[in-house]
Each structure stands twice: as structure tokens, then as C-alpha cells.
């Protein structure tokens, strides 16, 4: 606070001095030199700018309310009132509070959950209160006299839900249910009930969707951030919204009700559970909703639960409850009678068809579909009986969603409105979020040539800025070239986003991608400020040719920039989605005005002192600085949005008045709203609407020759069960890859023989790479047709395929036909390093050691073989040592040393010292050292140190040995460092060893960092090793991030490793994508691995396509094996 006051004081003083000076000069009170007589009009201009700036400060800066002792109580009370209004309206919109609500039962789950003693610690050994966690999700009748009256009418409260939650000593609850089971409605009823019955001092429940939460962000930080973003008008009355929200969370004045844990990425749910458990363990109240299957999967993989939370589960809708709900209102009952008759037949046990496989009964098992049905067929002209004509549950649910979406609109508008809703749903799918924000409207949405669309959307504003700047240059009499070049530079710098940290307000929200200490952040900000001033000042100088003026003014700007206030406009007065664009415009205007005024004044003054045209230079500087600031602060994002929206509106895919359309869809229940965020009423509805544009878009791209889109289209058709269409799509490819895809689809349908015949025909046409043969071999092996697979490989060998011989040998060895395999490997070994290694390993595995030794000895003496002589030497030496023939290995290496092989000398030294023959090793290097060989002298000295230290250890003089090893280690001898570590650990001085390696790691030695963490892990101090790599990763060390992920995976904490890498995943980072893919594959999540590898492929990585093909191959092999085993 002191620093802030000091800065404001200095600013006020500076403005006062400037205002006094320019005012006196303007009025003639101060008489400048004779040459400055032109100064009067310029000074009046500056005076006006200073006055405008002063007014702007007062207008743009939000008022601050001084803190008071009871400010939190008032903030909580106002927040509770706002939440009551918001969720009461939402309850009406979702038909929760209307007459005859749908009843859904809930009770304790049988899924993995915390022990009863943890959930009910105060009860000790007393009986678990079963009835306390059972009830229904409906509201009592409006005339219920048991409800407390407030004002003129009684608020309707579900006391079963509220009382059950309040009966929990720890106030931790997890709500499970199937998709569409009513979890969000349960959370809404709990929130409303707790608010309406809240006692003084109780926390106020805040219902938040958490689908965008990154579990790397602490739960409390996330809740505070969302509070500030969703309710700025409430919290802003009591101070800066983020600070007020943070204080309410820290003081436990809010109860987070977090809806939609299952909507996080599957790889993040386990990490999220751990974070939530950590939050609840501090005795904080918490409610979480999640789909049942996602919860069970995450618990099974990570073995993490909320250890103090009760877990309840929503039951499927009872048929009688569905009948009662659909029978209201009574006037509509005759239209519903055929449907109700079918449902009643299922209740009585005398259905026209089996109740278990009745698509209507199955569809009405979820509250979502039942509520959609009543809304969809509310119109008197609608015909619910059409549902009886459908044969599958997918058809029934699809028809219900189609009718629901069409119901609010007139017949002439339905197709158009449906197309708009589909476009928005597909947009959310492409972005990977359930929350709609205007800045998510990407330039390549629904375009066939995505790269061209992105380029055009970027080039258009640049071209426009170039034209405008050029015309302005002509009007000012300074030509076209320099202003045009400046326009290109300004827009390009702003579009890069590099300067965004200077103006972090506005949208899209700026989030730091790496965490760093405050000092480093300030240093980075100063660096960005310097870059901004340099680029803008250079542009001004380029236009005006006044380089001296630009230099003085630019330096002055850098000095004074830290004193200028950040003119952040106050948050929107109402937290509505429509206010985001208005707030964005205010942020842009504030940044533009601040920089234009500051730079304009400084350049005008500098120009005046240098006898340059002050007015023109000041205006030019204001335009350049202000334009860069405005575009960077959010103007570029707004331009991109407007251009994309205009294109989609011209194509008929979105309405021109988009915000009004969204508000109308919200009023009709198609969308729901949380704060400033629109979402579809349910994820199932969004997924359904996105199917059609996704299919059409992929079809258009495939028709245009996009092979990747063709593959995605085929996958989509398979997902929808349209296998024959997918097969026909691949048939059009008429290449080997298409043939393999078709074969896999046929296998998936159980048509294995047809797949084999198809692949054989494809191979006969063309298979010059042998990929088709490999695929067919896999199919044959899956069917147990070993001889056919071998004959197929042999045919490739006979056809002259060089690589087929190795593959045949491997297949023969795999099938136990060892002698045939050895003969083939021997033929291949003459020109193949891989074949030589396979032959040597196979001979050893068969116990034919002498034969393997002779084989490696022959290769070691011949540098012209496929495998290098040195590798053969290593193989032979290792094999001899393994057989205990040490002297023979020594003689072999000594002969190579005498032949002049320096690498063999290193190998011989290692072998001799390993077996305690250090004197021989010393003798080996002595002569060379005496002859002046520097490398030999170093090895000789190291061996002498080793001999000395070993002797000290033998004599029990451990401390002296430690001193010897430490001295050698500190000059870079890593072997000495290893031996020092062994001695210290052996003496129980583990901390000393750790500190040695830590110091080396802090000095920048990567190898020391790895050795440090290895030592910590060996000592069981895994968390220390994890924190070491985490700190390095947070400081921006990419290698540390990768090593942390591998460490976590090696400790079995694969979910944590996946979450860590995923949180830092960036498109285009191939190595990180591949690491994440490997971790996912290790957990058997090949589809997710493919998705992340696809992101690298989309960014242009050519190797990612091969990687993705490999992953798909693994999936196909698994399918082939399952098919083979099943048959």
C-alpha cells in the first residue's frame, strides 16, 4: 500500500508541475525564448491533453471502498442475495420449481468412497444414520405450511437435501449419477436451499461449473478467481473483486458447489480429486458432482478419493415418476396417452414388448430426457405418439433433442435457428470446452482450407492498416512508403501477442504459462516495456525522420512509464455475457488513451526543445503508441472475432445479432448461464447438435483432398455405427493404407475371412513397402494360421524383399523354429547390424555360448561387417565376463590396445578396475602419460587417486578417503563424485551426499541434477525429488518437466505425471506430446494418446503422423488379437 501511495503521490506531483508549467507558458505568464514564440498553440494543446488525462484518470479508475470491520459480512449478504436471484430464475427456467416436478431418488452409493468413521467421526461406533442420506430431488408444494415465510410468499426448499448435507459433520459431499441423471439440478436445489435457510455466520454456497479448471491451480485460487469473474458487480462494492473474493475464500465464508468434475479431461480427473481432497482435508466444506463412470475410472486408476466426503448417487427415473411428470398439465394428457399407456404397461409387467429393451422406457430413465420430452411436446399441435414409431434408444433420444430445439421457434425459422445452434455447438467441440466465449470463435471454424482462412483473417487487418497509414501519410505530406511500413510493423507487433503481459486485463484472459518469482516477473515486464517503447519510438522516428526527438522522448517514456497509473476500467456493472464485449471495448479505450496521452505529451515537449514540428510529432506518437497498446490489450482479438463472425453470418451459419440470439436461446432453456458464461443445457445436447456440422465439415474437407479429414470422417462414421459407409469411404482411396483400414473395419464386424481375402488382393496389386504383408500376417496369426503367415513372409523373401528376410527370421524364432531362424539370421548378419545382434542374442538364449563368442570374435576383427568392430568388441567382452572368463576378456582387449585402439584401452581400464586389478590399469596408462599424452596423463592421475582412496578405505581410514574423493570430485571427476556418494551413504551421512549433489546441480550441471534425484529416490525421499524437478520445471526448464513426468510415472504415479504434462502441453511441442502419449499408452488409453499426438500433427510436425499411425497400429493389433482369441 505504501508503494502504491508513493507512486500516486509522485504522479500527482508530476502532473501538477507539468500542468503549472504548460499553463503559465500558454497564458504568457512565463516568457520562453524568442525562438519559442510558436510554442503558445502547442502548449495549449498539451494543456488540453493533460486536463483530459486527469479527467480520464478519475473516470477510468474504479472507486475504492475503505476496508471496514464488517465488510466481509456485508459482502457475503449481498452475494447471497445475488445468488438467490440468479438461481431462483434458473430453477424456473429448468422447470424445477414449477408444479408437478420430476422426482428422482438419491441414496448412499455402493461405489468407492470414504469410510463411515471418516465421514461421521462424531458418531464413533454408533450406527450409521442411513436415512439421513436418502431423499428425492423435487420441491414441496407451494402451499406447504411447513416452509418458513419470508415476505409475501414462502420460498420452496427441498429440506431432504439441505438437512442431509447439514447432518454431515465435515460438510463434504460427492454427488454421482449417469449422464442426464440430474446432478446439476441436485446441486442447484442444494445451493438454493442452503442460501434460503442460511444462519448468520454460515458460508454462502456458490455453484460453479468446473469444466475449465486446471487442477494445477489450487482449489481456493480457482474459486476466488471465478467469484471475481462471475460476480464483479457484487464484490466490487466492497473493494477490488479479486481481493474480496480471495478474502472470502480464505476466511471460509463461501461453500464451493463444484458441478461437472467429469467434464475435465480424463487425464486430469485423478489430479483434480487429489486437489479437492487436499482442500477438504483442511476442514473446508465442499460439494462436487461427477458422472459415475468417470468417478470410478479415476478412483481405480489413481486410488484417490475424497477421504472425508459422503458419496451419494442419483437413481434412474422411476417409470411412475415419469408418468406423473408427463401427465402435467392435464390439458396435454390426451396427446400423451399413447406414450403413457406404453409406460404403464412396463409398470404392470404386461408390456407389448420387453420392458428391458423398450427404447422408450430406456430413454425416460434420465431426468434430462423426461424434462426435454415435456418441453418439446408442449405445443398443442405436437404429437408425442411419434416416439412410439422409433426402434432404438438413440433414435428416441435424438428425436427428443431435435423436437426440444425446434419447439421455441416458428416453422419458417426452425431450420435456420437449428443451423446457428449447430455451428455454436461445433465451435465448442473444436475448442474443447463447454463454455461459450466470443474470443473462442476461431478464424478457421468451418473452413475447408484452414491455413488459408487463418492467413486471410490475419492479412486483412494488416492490409487495411497499411492502406490507412499510407493515405494518412499522403494527406500529411510525408509520402506513402514510411507510414505504410509503420502500419505493417505496428499491427504485426500487436498481433504477435508478445506484449500482452503489459495489458493483462480484457479478453481473452491473460494467464501466465510459467510460474516465476515476483522479481523475475518485474524484470520480464521491464523488458517488455523496453521492447514496446523501442518498436513504437522507431516507428515514430521512421515517419517523422526526427531521430533525435524520438530518442529523447523514448528514453523519457521509459523513465516515466513506471509512474503512470494502470487505467483499468471497472468490471461490468452486471455479470452478463453481453457485458464482456462492452468491457473489452473499455479496456482497449483505456490502454489506447493512456499510452496516446503519455507519448503525445512527451514527444511534443521533446520536439519543442529541439525546434521540431511539435504538433505533428506529438500526434504521430500518440497514434503509434496508442494503436500498439489498443491492439495488444485486446483490439486484435476483437478484430479477429468481428471478421470471423461476419464470415459465418454471410454464410448463414450464425446470426448477425449473435448476442441477442444467445439470450433468446437462454430464455428458452436451450442454453444455461453461469455468471458471464453460456453453456448448452446439457453436454449431451451439445454433442448431439455438433454431430451434423462436424460430419458435413469433414466431408467437405475430405472431398477437397484432405487425407487427415478423410481419416477423421471414417472414424466418425464408425462411431455412429455406419461401418459400411466408412468402408466405402476408404475404398475410394485405392491404396495400401485404405486397404488396411478396410480390413480393420471388417475384422471389427467379425468378417475376418473377408478381411484376409481383401488384404491378399491388395497385396497382390501393390505392396512394395511390405506394410500390407505385415498387416495380413497379424491377421493370420490372430486366427492361428501360423503356416500361412510364415509362407506369406517367405514369399516376400523369394520376391527379393531385403527386409522380409529379417521379419521371417523373427517370426520363425517367435514360433519356436529356432534352427531355421538362426540360419536366416546368419544370412542377414553379413550386412545388417540388427540381424547380427539378433543372431548373437538367439545363440546365447539357446545356450550355444561358444558359437556366439566365435561369431562376435570374427566380427570384432573385421571393420567391414554390418555391425562395427567396436560394438562387436563390447558384445564379446560382456559375454566373456558373463561366463566368468575374465582373463580371456582381458587378453582380447589388451590385443586391441596393442593394435592402437584407444577406446579399447578405456574398456580394458574399466574391466581391470572393476575386478580389483587397478595396478595393471595404472601400468597401462603410465607409459603413455610419460610420453606426454594429456588424455593418458589424466586417466593415470585418476587411477592414482582411485588407488589411494581405495587403500585408505581398506585401512579403515574413511574420513581421509572421503577427503581424497571430495577433492577430486570438486574439480569435475564424476567417478570420484560417485565414490564419494557411496562412502557418505555407507557412513549414514546421506544429507551430506545430497547437499553435495544439490550444490553441483545448482551450479548448472544437468548430470548432477539427475544424480541428486536418483539418490533421493533411492533413499525413499521421492517427494523431495519431485519438488526439485517441479521447481525447475516451473522456472521454465523443459527438460526438468519431462524428467518430473518420468519420475512420477516410474513411481507409479502415472495419473499425476499425465496431469502435469497435460497442464503444460502446447500445440507444436512434439516431444511433450509424445511423452504424454507414451504415458497414456502405458495406462492403456491409446485413444487419448492419439488425440494428443494429433495436436502435434495439426501443428505441422511430419513425424507426428507416423507416431499416430504407430498408435493406431497398436489399437488394430489389440483388436485383431481379441478377435482371434474370441474365435
**Of the candidate ranges 16-30, 125-139, 913-927, 933-947, the one whose mean pLDDT is the lowest:** 16-30
Give the model's pLDDT for residue 1018.
83
Give the model's pLDDT for residue 427.
92
pLDDT band at residue 570 using 50, 70 and 90 as cut-offs: low
Please say whether the beta carbons of 598 and 57 come within 8 A: no
Residues 119 and 27 occupy one common structural domain = no
Residue 542 pLDDT > 50? yes
Residues 493 and 642 occupy one common structural domain = yes
Residues 161 and 279 occupy one common structural domain = yes
Distance CA 91, CA 207 (A): 13
Give tens-digit pLDDT for 727-736.
888 888 767 7
In a domain, 971, yes or no: no
Q: What is the DSSP letter of 634?
A: I
What cell numbers appear for 1084 in the block?
Answer: 492403456
Residues 209 and 309 occupy one common structural domain = yes
Over range 1053-1063, report the average pLDDT: 68
In a domain, 1001, yes or no: no
Distance CA 343, CA 337 (A): 10
Distance CA 1048, CA 1061 (A): 11
Most confident listed range (31-35, 331-335, 374-378): 374-378
In a domain, 554, yes or no: yes
Identify the CA nearest to 490 among candidates 529, 455, 539: 539
Identify the CA nearest to 740 among candidates 748, 1125, 1126: 748
Q: Which helix (H) or strand (E) holds 255?
A: strand 254-259
Q: How many angstroms separate the most distant Cα atoms in the chain?
A: 111
Over range 350-369, report the average pLDDT: 73
Residues 326 and 305 occupy one common structural domain = no
Distance CA 1018, CA 598 (A): 60
Residue 146 pLDDT > 80? no
Residue 697 pLDDT > 80? yes
pLDDT band at residue 1076 using 50, 70 and 90 as cut-offs: low
pLDDT band at residue 380 using 50, 70 and 90 as cut-offs: confident
Give tens-digit pLDDT for 31-72.
554 544 445 555 545 555 555 455 454 444 444 444 444 778
In a domain, 1095, yes or no: yes
Most confident listed range (356-370, 413-427, 815-829): 413-427
Residue 751 pLDDT > 50? yes
CA atoms within 13 A on the CB side of 1015: 27
Identify the CA nearest to 29 among candidates 14, 15, 13, 47: 47
When the pLDDT of each residue in the chain is averaged and rounded to a whole number, the result is 78
Give the model's pLDDT for residue 1068.
45
Distance CA 1048, CA 1038 (A): 16
Residues 18 and 127 occupy one common structural domain = no
Identify the CA nearest to 290 among candidates 1086, 304, 281: 304
Residues 472 and 616 occupy one common structural domain = yes
In a domain, 286, yes or no: yes
Identify the CA nearest to 949 among candidates 970, 967, 964, 966: 964
pLDDT band at residue 508 using 50, 70 and 90 as cut-offs: confident
Strand partners, 257: 207, 287
Distance CA 195, CA 5 (A): 39
User: Containing domain of residue 627, as a range?
Assistant: 452-650
Give the model's pLDDT for residue 1119.
46
pLDDT band at residue 636 using 50, 70 and 90 as cut-offs: confident
**Of the candidate ranges 498-502, 575-579, 950-954, 1038-1042, the one whose mean pLDDT is the lowest:** 575-579
More confident residue, 42 or 443: 443
Strand pairing class (310-314; 172-177)? parallel
Distance CA 477, CA 475 (A): 5
What DSSP string describes 970-995?
A: TTT-HHHHHHHHHHHHHTT-HHHHHH
Give the model's pLDDT for residue 671.
92
Give tens-digit pLDDT for 114-133.
666 666 665 545 455 556 67
Residue 656 pLDDT > 90? yes
CA atoms within 13 A on the CB side of 1100: 2
What cell numbers appear for 568 in the block?
Answer: 483499468
Residue 145 pLDDT > 80? no
Give the model's pLDDT for residue 665.
92
| End-to-end Cα separation, the chain, in angstroms | 76
Residue 432 pLDDT > 60? yes
Phi, psi angle pair for 650, to nearest 5°: -65, -35
CA atoms within 13 A on the CB side of 422: 21
More confident residue, 400 or 474: 400
Most confident listed range (30-44, 500-514, 636-650): 636-650
In a domain, 400, yes or no: yes
In a domain, 815, yes or no: no
Residue 646 pLDDT > 90? yes
More confident residue, 301 or 205: 205
In a domain, 1013, yes or no: no
Choose the final residue of a domain: 266, 288, 315: 315
Residues 602 and 545 occupy one common structural domain = yes
Choose the final residue of a domain: 630, 650, 670: 650
Residue 1105 pLDDT > 70? no
Rg (CA), the chain: 37
Give tens-digit pLDDT for 481-492.
777 787 787 788
Residues 23 and 107 occupy one common structural domain = no
Residues 459 and 397 occupy one common structural domain = no
Strand partners, 239: none
Distance CA 1036, CA 119 (A): 41
Choose the final residue of a domain: 27, 60, 93: 60
Give tens-digit pLDDT for 224-251.
988 988 888 888 888 888 889 999 999 9
State the virtual CA torsion across 463, 467, 468, 473 in degrees, nearest 10. Answer: 140
What cell numbers appear for 453 in the block?
Answer: 482462412
Over range 697-701, report the average pLDDT: 90
Residue 99 pLDDT > 70? no
Over range 128-139, report the average pLDDT: 68
pLDDT band at residue 567 using 50, 70 and 90 as cut-offs: low
Give tens-digit pLDDT for 788-807.
888 888 888 887 777 788 88
Give tens-digit pLDDT for 593-628.
988 888 888 899 888 888 888 888 888 888 888 888
More confident residue, 70 or 577: 70
CA atoms within 13 A on the CB side of 1097: 17
Q: CA distances (Å), 1005 to each of 251, 1000, 1046, 1051, in order?
A: 44, 6, 19, 24
pLDDT band at residue 936 using 50, 70 and 90 as cut-offs: confident
Distance CA 689, CA 130 (A): 41
Identify the CA nearest to 411 among candidates 384, 381, 387, 389: 381
More confident residue, 34 or 185: 185
What DSSP string describes 698-753?
A: HHHHHHTT-HHHHHHHHHHHHHTT-HHHHHHHHHTT-SHHHHHHHHHHHHHTT-HH
- For a pLDDT cut of 70, what percent of the chain falls above it? 78
pLDDT band at residue 1107 using 50, 70 and 90 as cut-offs: low
Strand partners, 286: 172
pLDDT band at residue 1089 using 50, 70 and 90 as cut-offs: low
Distance CA 385, CA 82 (A): 42
What cell numbers appear for 585 in the block?
Answer: 471495448
Please say whether the beta carbons of 632 and 500 come within 8 A: yes
User: Judging by beta carbons within 10 Å of its beta carbon (0-12, 13-18, 19+), is residue 1100 exposed, middle or buried?
Assistant: exposed
Residues 492 and 369 occupy one common structural domain = no
CATH, residue 271: 3.40.50.300
Residues 32 and 108 occupy one common structural domain = no
Buried b (16+ CB within 10 A) or exposed e, 348-386: eeebeeebeebbbbbbbbbbbbbbbbbbbbeeeeeebee
Give the model's pLDDT for residue 2.
39
Strand partners, 175: 289, 312
Residue reference for cell 525546434: 611
Residue 965 pLDDT > 60? yes
* Chain-centroid distance, C-alpha 858: 54
Sheet of strand 310-314, all strands in order from the earlier edge strand to the far edge: 135-136, 105-108, 310-314, 172-177, 286-291, 254-259, 204-209
Report the number of distinct structural domains present in the chain: 5
Over range 554-575, report the average pLDDT: 69
Distance CA 336, CA 545 (A): 81
Give the model's pLDDT for residue 632.
85
Distance CA 168, CA 153 (A): 30
Residue 324 pLDDT > 50? yes
pLDDT band at residue 1081 using 50, 70 and 90 as cut-offs: low
Give the model's pLDDT for residue 23.
52
Amino acid at each position: 500500500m505504501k508503494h502504491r501511495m508513493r507512486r500516486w503521490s509522485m504522479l500527482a506531483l508530476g502532473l501538477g508541475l507539468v500542468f503549472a508549467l504548460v499553463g503559465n507558458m500558454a497564458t504568457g505568464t512565463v516568457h520562453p525564448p524568442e525562438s519559442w514564440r510558436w510554442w503558445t498553440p502547442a502548449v495549449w494543446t498539451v494543456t488540453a491533453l493533460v486536463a483530459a488525462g486527469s479527467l480520464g484518470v478519475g473516470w477510468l479508475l474504479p472507486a475504492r471502498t475503505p476496508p471496514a470491520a464488517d465488510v466481509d459480512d456485508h459482502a457475503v449478504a449481498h452475494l447471497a442475495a445475488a445468488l438467490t436471484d440468479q438461481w431462483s430464475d434458473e430453477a424456473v427456467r429448468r422447470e424445477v420449481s414449477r408444479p408437478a416436478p420430476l422426482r428422482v431418488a438419491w441414496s448412499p452409493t455402493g461405489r468407492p468412497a470414504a469410510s463411515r468413521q471418516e465421514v461421521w467421526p462424531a458418531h464413533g461406533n454408533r450406527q450409521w444414520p442411513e436415512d439421513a442420506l436418502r431423499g428425492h430431488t423435487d420441491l414441496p408444494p407451494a402451499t406447504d405450511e411447513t416452509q418458513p415465510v419470508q415476505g409475501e410468499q414462502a420460498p420452496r426448499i427441498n429440506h431432504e437435501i439441505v438437512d442431509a448435507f447439514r447432518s454431515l459433520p465435515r460438510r463434504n459431499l460427492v454427488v454421482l449419477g449417469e449422464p442426464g441423471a440430474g446432478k446439476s439440478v441436485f446441486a442447484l436445489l442444494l445451493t438454493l436451499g442452503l442460501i434460503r435457510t442460511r444462519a448468520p455466520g454460515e458460508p454462502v454456497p456458490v455453484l460453479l461449473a468446473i469444466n475449465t479448471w486446471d487442477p494445477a491451480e489450487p482449489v481456493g485460487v480457482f474459486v476466488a478467481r471465478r467469484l471475481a469473474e462471475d460476480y464483479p458487480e457484487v464484490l466490487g462494492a466492497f473493494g477490488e473483486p479479486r481481493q474480496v473474493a480471495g478474502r472470502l475464500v480464505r476466511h471460509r465464508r463461501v461453500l464451493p458447489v463444484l458441478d461437472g468434475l467429469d467434464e475435465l479431461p480424463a487425464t486430469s480427473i485423478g489430479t483434480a480429486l487429489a486437489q479437492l481432497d487436499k482442500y477438504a482435508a483442511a476442514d473446508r466444506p465442499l460439494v462436487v458432482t461427477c458422472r459415475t463412470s468417470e468417478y470410478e475410472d479415476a478412483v481405480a486408476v489413481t486410488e484417490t478419493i475424497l477421504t472425508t466426503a459422503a458419496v451419494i448417487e442419483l437413481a434412474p427415473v422411476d417409470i411412475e415418476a415419469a408418468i406423473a411428470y408427463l401427465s402435467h398439465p392435464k390439458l396435454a394428457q390426451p396427446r400423451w396417452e399413447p406414450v403413457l399407456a406404453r409406460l404403464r404397461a412396463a409398470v404392470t409387467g404386461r408390456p407389448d414388448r420387453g420392458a428391458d429393451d423398450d427404447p422408450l422406457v430406456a430413454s425416460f430413465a434420465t431426468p434430462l430426457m423426461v424434462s426435454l420430452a415435456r418441453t418439446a411436446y408442449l405445443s398443442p399441435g405436437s404429437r408425442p405418439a411419434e416416439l412410439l414409431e422409433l426402434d432404438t434408444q438413440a433414435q428416441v433420444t435424438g428425436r427428443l433433442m431435435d423436437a426440444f430445439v425446434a419447439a421455441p421457434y416458428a416453422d419458417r425459422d426452425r431450420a435456420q435457428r437449428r443451423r446457428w445452434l449447430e455451428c455454436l455447438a461445433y465451435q465448442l467441440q473444436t475448442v474443447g470446452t463447454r463454455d461459450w466465449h466470443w474470443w473462442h470463435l476461431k478464424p478457421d471454424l468451418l473452413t475447408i482450407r484452414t491455413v488459408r482462412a487463418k492467413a486471410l483473417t490475419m492479412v486483412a487487418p494488416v492490409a487495411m492498416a497499411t492502406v490507412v497509414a499510407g493515405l494518412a501519410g499522403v494527406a500529411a505530406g510525408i509520402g506513402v512508403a514510411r507510414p505504410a511500413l509503420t502500419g505493417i510493423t505496428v499491427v504485426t507487433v500487436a498481433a504477435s501477442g508478445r506484449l500482452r503481459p503489459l495489458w493483462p486485463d480484457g479478453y481473452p484472459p491473460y494467464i501466465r504459462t510459467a510460474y516465476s518469482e515476483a522479481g523475475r516477473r518485474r524484470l520480464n515486464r521491464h523488458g517488455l516495456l523496453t521492447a514496446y517503447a523501442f518498436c513504437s519510438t522507431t516507428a515514430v522516428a521512421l515517419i517523422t525522420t526526427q531521430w533525435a526527438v524520438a530518442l529523447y522522448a523514448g528514453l523519457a517514456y521509459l523513465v516515466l512509464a513506471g509512474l503512470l497509473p494502470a487505467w483499468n476500467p471497472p468490471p461490468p456493472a452486471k455479470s452478463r455475457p453481453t457485458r464482456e464485449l462492452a468491457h473489452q471495448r473499455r479496456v482497449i479505450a483505456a490502454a489506447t488513451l493512456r499510452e496516446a496521452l503519455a507519448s503525445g505529451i512527451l514527444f511534443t515537449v521533446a520536439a519543442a526543445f529541439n525546434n521540431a514540428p511539435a504538433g505533428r510529432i506529438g500526434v504521430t506518437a500518440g497514434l503509434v503508441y496508442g494503436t500498439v497498446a489498443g491492439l495488444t490489450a485486446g483490439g486484435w482479438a476483437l478484430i479477429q472475432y468481428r471478421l470471423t463472425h461476419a464470415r459465418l453470418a454471410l454464410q448463414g451459419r450464425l446470426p448477425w445479432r449473435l448476442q441477442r440470439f444467445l439470450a433468446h436461446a437462454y430464455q428458452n432453456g436451450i442454453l444455461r448461464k453461469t455468471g458471464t458464461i453460456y453453456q448448452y443445457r446439457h453436454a449431451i445436447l451439445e454433442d448431439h447438435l455438433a454431430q451434423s456440422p462436424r460430419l458435413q465439415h469433414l466431408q467437405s474437407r475430405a472431398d477437397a483432398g484432405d487425407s487427415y479429414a478423410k481419416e477423421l470422417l471414417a472414424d466418425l462414421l464408425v462411431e455412429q455405427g455406419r461401418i459400411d459407409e466408412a468402408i466405402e469411404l476408404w475404398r475410394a482411396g485405392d491404396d495400401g493404407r485404405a486397404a488396411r483400414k478396410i480390413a480393420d473395419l471388417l475384422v471389427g464386424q467379425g468378417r475376418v475371412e473377408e478381411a484376409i481375402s481383401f488384404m491378399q488382393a491388395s497385396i497382390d496389386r501393390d505392396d512394395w513397402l511390405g506394410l500390407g504383408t505385415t498387416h495380413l500376417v497379424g491377421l493370420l496369426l490372430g486366427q492361428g494360421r501360423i503356416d500361412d503367415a510364415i509362407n506369406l513372409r517367405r514369399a516376400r523373401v523369394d520376391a527379393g524383399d531385403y527386409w522380409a528376410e529379417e521379419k521371417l527370421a523373427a517370426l520363425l524364432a517367435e514360433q519356436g523354429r529356432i534352427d531355421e531362424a538362426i540360419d536366416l539370421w546368419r544370412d542377414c548378419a553379413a550386412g545388417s547390424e540388427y540381424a547380427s545382434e539378433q543372431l548373437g542374442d538367439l545363440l546365447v538364449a539357446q545356450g550355444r555360448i561358444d558359437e556366439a563368442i566365435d561369431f562376435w570374435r570374427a566380427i570384432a576383427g573385421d571393420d567391414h561387417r554390418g555391425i562395427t568392430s567396436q560394438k562387436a568388441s563390447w558384445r564379446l567382452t560382456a559375454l566373456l565376463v558373463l561366463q566368468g572368463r575374465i582373463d580371456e576378456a582381458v587378453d582380447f582387449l589388451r590385443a586391441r590396445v596393442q593394435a592402437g585402439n584407444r577406446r579399447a584401452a578405456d574398456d580394458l581400464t574399466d574391466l581391470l578396475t572393476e575386478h580389483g586389478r587397478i595396478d595393471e590399469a595404472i601400468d597401462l596408462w603410465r607409459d603413455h602419460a610419460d610420453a606426454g599424452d594429456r588424455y593418458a596423463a589424466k586417466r593415470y592421475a585418476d587411477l592414482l587417486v582411485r588407488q589411494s582412496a581405495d587403500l585408505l578405505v581398506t585401512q579403515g581410514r574413511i574420513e581421509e578417503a572421503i577427503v581424497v574423493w571430495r577433492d577430486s570430485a570438486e574439480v569435475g571427476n564424476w567417478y570420484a563424485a560417485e565414490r564419494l556418494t557411496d562412502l557418505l551413504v555407507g557412513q549414514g551421512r546421506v544429507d551430506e551426499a545430497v547437499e553435495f549433489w544439490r550444490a553441483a546441480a545448482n551450479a548448472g550441471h544437468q548430470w548432477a541434477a539427475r544424480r541428486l534425484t536418483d539418490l533421493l529416490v533411492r533413499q525413499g525421499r521421492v517427494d523431495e525429488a519431485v519438488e526439485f524437478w517441479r521447481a525447475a520445471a516451473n522456472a521454465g526448464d523443459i527438460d526438468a518437466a519431462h524428467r518430473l513426468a518420468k519420475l512420477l510415472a516410474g513411481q507409479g504415479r502415472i495419473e499425476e505425471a499425465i496431469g502435469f504434462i497435460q497442464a503444460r502441453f502446447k500445440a507444436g511441442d512434439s516431444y511433450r506430446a509424445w511423452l504424454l502419449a507414451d504415458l497414456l499408452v502405458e495406462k492403456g488409453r491409446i485413444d487419448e494418446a492419439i488425440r494428443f499426438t494429433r495436436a502435434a500433427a495439426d501443428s505441422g510436425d511430419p513425424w507426428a503422423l507416423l507416431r499416430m499411425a504407430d498408435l493406431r497400429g497398436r489399437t488394430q493389433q489389440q483388436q485383431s488379437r481379441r478377435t482371434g482369441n474370441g474365435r
